Amino acid sequence: MNIVVNAELQAYIDPLTAEELEALERSLLAEGCRDALVLWGDVLVDGHNRHRLCLKHGLPFRTVQNPRFKSLEDVHLWMIDQHLGRRSVSNFQRGLLALRKSEIVAGQRARAFAPQPAEPARDEPAPPAAAETAPPPTPAATSPAPERMDSREAIAKAARLSSNQVVMIERIRKQAAPEVVAAVRAGTISINAAAAVATLPAEEQIAAATAGADELKQAARRVREARSKPPKPRETPAASEQDTEPDELEMLRERVTQLTAENLDLRRQLAELQALQARTP
C-alpha cells in the first residue's frame, strides 16, 4: 500500500524528543507495532514516527481508515484531541493545542451559522452561461455546528489547565521571541517565567535566551520585581515653594473676596433695574 506522508500534517504536532523517540524505537523492536496507523485515504494522519521506524527495521504494521474525516479541519481536530489526551504532552503543548482547537471551532461555527445565499426561483431558469459552466450541485453537509469553545474557561478545561495558565500561554504565543518559545517547549523555563519575559522588547528576549536558562530566569525575576514595586511617592515641594505657598493662598483669598463683592454689586444693579421697569407705565 502506498502511504502518503503529508509534511504539514507531520509537523502539525510537536515532534518527540530524542529520548522519547529512542524509547519508542526500543518498544517497537521488543513488542512490534501494536497500534494501527490512522489514514485519511492514502494520507497518513497518526503514527508518523511508528511508520518511519517500522520501515527502517522492516517491521510489519496495520492501518485503519477514519470515516469521520470530511476535511483537513476534521483531521486537525482529531489530531489535537488525540494529543490532548496523552500524558506525555506538556502543559505548554496542551495549552497551544487547545488554543488552536478553539480557533478551528470558531471558524467552523462561523461558517455553520453564516446566512446561506438564496436559491433562485424554480420558475426562473439560470442564465445560459452559468448553466453551461457550473458543476452539478453536491449535497450540503448536515453535520451539526461544533460545540462552542470561545471562552478561556472552555479552553482551560480542554487543556486541563487553569484560566491563568491559558492567559500566559496565549501571551507567549503572541509576544514571545522564537528563542523564548523554544526554551519553554524544552522545559528550560516555566510557563510563568516565559510569560514574564515575553513582555520585554524582542531584542532583550533574544539576548536573555541566547545567554541561557539562568539569564532567562533572571530576566523573568526582574520583570516580576518591577511589577511588584509600589508607585513612587510624590516629591516633597522645595523649600522655596513652601515659603511662597501662604502668599499664593492669600492672593487667592483676596481674589475670591473681590469677585464676591463684584457679584453682589451686579445683583444690586439688576434689582434696581427691575424695580425701575416695574414703576414705568
The pLDDT, as a whole number, for residue 184 is 94
Instruction: Name the pairing type of β-strands 37-40 and 43-46.
Output: antiparallel
Please give the domain boundaries of the chain with CATH numbers for all domains: 1-69 (3.90.1530)
The pLDDT, as a whole number, for residue 255 is 65
DSSP 4: B
- pLDDT classification of 243: cutoffs 50, 70, 90: very low
Average pLDDT, rounded, for the chain: 81
Q: How far apart are CA 36 and CA 188, in angstroms?
A: 34
Identify whether the C-beta of residue 73 lies closer than 8 Å to the C-beta of residue 105: no
All residues at 6 or more sequence positions from 35 whose CB lies less than 8 Å from its CB, including other chains: 47, 50
Most confident by average pLDDT, 12-26, 229-243, 246-260 = 12-26
Flag the least confident range among 91-95, 175-179, 257-261: 257-261
Q: How far apart are CA 50 and CA 27, in angstroms?
A: 10
CB atoms within 10 A of CB 179: 16
pLDDT mean over 230-243? 54
φ/ψ region of 13 (left if φ > 0, alpha if ψ in -120 to 50, else beta) reads beta
Asked if the model's pLDDT at residue 57 lies above 70, the reply is yes
Asked if the model's pLDDT at residue 232 lies above 70, the reply is no
Query: pTM score, two decimals?
Result: 0.67
The pLDDT, as a whole number, for residue 240 is 44
Asked if the model's pLDDT at residue 280 lies above 90, the reply is no
Q: How many residues does the chain have?
A: 281
Cell of 81: 484531541
Q: How far apart are CA 24 and CA 17, in angstroms?
A: 11
pLDDT mean over 48-67? 95
Q: What is the pLDDT of residues 123-163, one digit of tens each?
A: 544 444 433 333 343 333 445 556 678 788 999 999 999 99
DSSP 188: S
The pLDDT, as a whole number, for residue 125 is 47
The pLDDT, as a whole number, for residue 281 is 62
Asked if the model's pLDDT at residue 261 lies above 90, the reply is no
Q: Is 52 helix (H, G, I), strand (E, B) or coil?
A: helix
Q: What is the pLDDT of residues 164-184, one digit of tens each?
A: 999 999 999 999 999 999 999
The pLDDT, as a whole number, for residue 235 is 57
- pLDDT classification of 196: cutoffs 50, 70, 90: very high
